[in-house]
Structure 1
Amino acid sequence: MKISVITPTYNRSSWLKATVDSIMSQEVKDQVEYIVVDNNSSDDTKEVIHECIKKYHGAPIILKYLYEGKPGINNARNTGIAQSDGDYVIFFDDDIVLEKGGLQAYIDAFKQFPQQLVFGGKIKLLRPDFSLPAWLATSGPYLRPMIVYDLDYGNANSVIQGFESMPIGLSMAIKRTAFEKYGVFRTDLGLTKKKLMPGAEYELFLRFSKEINGWVYVADGLVYHPIKKEQACKSYFRKRLFGVGRVTYRLHPFEAKKRIFGLPLYILGFIVKHGMLALKYAVSAKPMESFFHETEMFTYMGCVREHFAQKK
């Protein structure tokens, strides 16, 4: 079995070296290539990777550098897919740290579940070196899982039915035959410098669900993922969740009997409801609860924005 590991990267050289080191230091039994795709970085990403290539020359895992000039993580991912030849493709973001044994855990899961197409590992928050604001939840019911990641289904590999709870793009793997049959990532979705429009992974998994509706949780495929200081601000969360709302409305038809200007009336009701709850908890000095409902409001506002964008 041959394995391809792909890391798309953009202007994160300060984080990237730790990611590369954590992957290249893994002990594996199968043939593995590790491809870092530089998505038109303006920092010293290229130099960092070439230094790592020299450092790990002769290592069991073969490290390669690719360049993709079109902006967007999914352009970089698709370039990596096209230029790799592994039977399975593992994607790791450029700011994660892979726990020792994590790569072999993925490979073992591929062999344990040969009929499955999608795999995702355990994710824990890499504790920041700065104080988090009071409104930012890192666990519990007010966690924003699209931004602050905490994925843990226990200590044993298991098949998770459906994609309502799905693997997270910063640590996931896909069988190559799935790409060959259903296509690669949509490039109109995903994060870029100018827009935060997630949803490419979910849209891809919807295509895969025509064949197999579920994914494999890889218990020992543990990565640590940080929240960065520039992300620990309300404006980032609002923009990101607004994008989630747009993608949700784009990918799923919203059924409704009562509409206004073609928009399901209950979406406006949700905006009012969560706005009132955000205000209620703000007055009660409960910042975490208040901001959760505020971002729920922004998610539904994204639905409204997408509705009228489609009418143009």
Structure 2
Amino acid sequence: MSTIDVSVVICVYTEDRWEDILAAVASVRAQTHPALETLLVVDHNPTLLDRLRSEYKETDEVRVLPNAGPRGLSAGRNTGIAASRGEVVAFLDDDAVAERDWLRRFADPYSDPRVLAVGGRAVPVWSSGRRPDWFPEEFDWVVGCSYRGLPPGRVRVRNILGGNASFRRTAFDFVGGFATGIGRDGNKRPMGGEETDLCIRLSRARPDAILLMDDRAVIHHKVPEAREHFGYFRTRTYAEGLSKALVARSVGVDKGLESERRYATRVLPAGVVRGLRDQLLARPGGARRAAAIVAGVLTAAGGYLVGSMRARRAGTTFAVVPIPVDQVERAA
């Protein structure tokens, strides 16, 4: 068994997910490869901060601390990185639970010093009890989960997915951390892309770096009922287009859209064909899945065009500001 110490960071922001947060922490505590520590980083919510500190008395096992940077997921993750002590820092969404060998699957590849990041697979848990028949698996990223088209097994990738991810601590020495201005920042628009930006910057800083995806490192990610509807699907795909425009501006179009080209030209057309075939075979939702794929492409493309024009007009830049440990301690 690997002896690598892993710190787990869970960023939280709302009391509405109280039971989900408790379940996430419990799943970390049940790991076959024990976590060195679990850090709950609270995003500018004093009530939630106090409640979690009452639930988890300050110990080396679970630590509760406020986001020491601006509101948003990137600064919350950077706060966790600065406060953590493990050789590897893993990230788990606050509405997900990890399978018992999750950290073991993450830790094992780090025996190779070239490995700087390992990601895993996120399986959707639908609040309605099952996948809506119109919802294409190719778009499971809309609800924060792994999607059809990702390579199986343990493979090298351009970037890992942020809700089920781990990085060697030294990776942040090379790139500083997650960029603010990309991804979710407390507003209502479901942006993303901050982990893509970080991984691309990491590969540029260390061309010999290995970034892996291992589909045996599994988490089960809750999908709220509100996200099972087409309205959210449309909103999220549009926001993803906006996010990709920001990532492309940060790291360049070639790298920023490298994986997306294969996805758009191979995975999605195959999904449309599959949906139409299912319709011919009288399988539920076939035509609706095909239509959802087309709608998702169009709204994401629209978001990308709008985001690109806005970024050019505004001359948008993105800050990568590591949060010093002493700043975290003062905030705590």
TM-score interval, smaller chain = 0.7 to 0.9
Per the alignment, residue 120 of structure 2 pairs with 121
Q: What is the number of equivalent residue pairs in this alignment?
A: 274
Q: Is the 8 A contact 1:38 1:46 kept in 2?
A: no
Q: What amino acid is aligned across from residue 31 of structure 2 in structure 1? A: Q
Q: Aligned pair in 2 of structure 1 residues 170, 34: CA closer, same or farther (>3 Å)?
A: same
Residues 1-312 of structure 1 mapped to structure 2, 5 A cutoff: 1-11=4-14, 12-28=17-33, 32-41=36-45, 44=48, 46-48=50-52, 50-53=54-57, 62-68=61-67, 70-111=70-111, 113-130=112-129, 132-137=131-136, 139=137, 142-147=138-143, 149-150=145-146, 154=152, 158-160=154-156, 162-163=157-158, 166-194=159-187, 195-210=189-204, 211=206, 212=208, 214-252=210-248, 286-309=287-310, 310-312=312-314
Q: Residues of 2 paired with 1:150 and 1:302: CA distance?
A: 22
Secondary structure of 2:36's aligned partner: strand
Q: Is the 8 A contact 1:109 1:218 kept in 2?
A: no
Per the alignment, residue 258 of structure 2 pairs with none
**Structure 2: gaps spanning 5 or more residues:** 255-264, 315-332
**Is 233-242 or 295-304 further displaced after alignment?**
233-242
Alpha-carbon offset, residue 65 of structure 1: 0.4
Q: Deviation digits for residues 200-247 of structure 1, max 9, x if unmatched? A: 100101111121354223344221112111111222222221122122
Q: Residues of 1 paired with 2:130 and 2:216: CA distance?
A: 29
Q: What amino acid is aligned across from residue 303 of structure 1 in structure 2? A: Y
Alpha-carbon offset, residue 14 of structure 1: 2.6
Q: Deviation digits for residues 261-288 of structure 1, max 9, x if unmatched? A: xxxxxxxxx9xxx9xx9xxx8xx98211
TM-score, L = length of structure 2:
0.73
Q: Residues of 2 paired with 1:250 and 1:18: CA distance?
A: 33
TM-score, L = length of structure 1:
0.77
Secondary structure of 1:196's aligned partner: coil
Q: Is the 8 A contact 2:142 2:233 kept in 1?
A: no
Alpha-carbon offset, residue 147 of structure 1: 2.6
Q: Percentage identity across aligned positions?
A: 22
Per the alignment, residue 327 of structure 2 pairs with none
* Structure in which a larger fraction of residues adopt helix: 2
Q: Aligned pair in 2 of structure 1 residues 4, 192: CA closer, same or farther (>3 Å)?
A: same
Secondary structure of 1:126's aligned partner: strand
Q: Residues of 1 paired with 2:36 and 2:47: CA distance?
A: 28
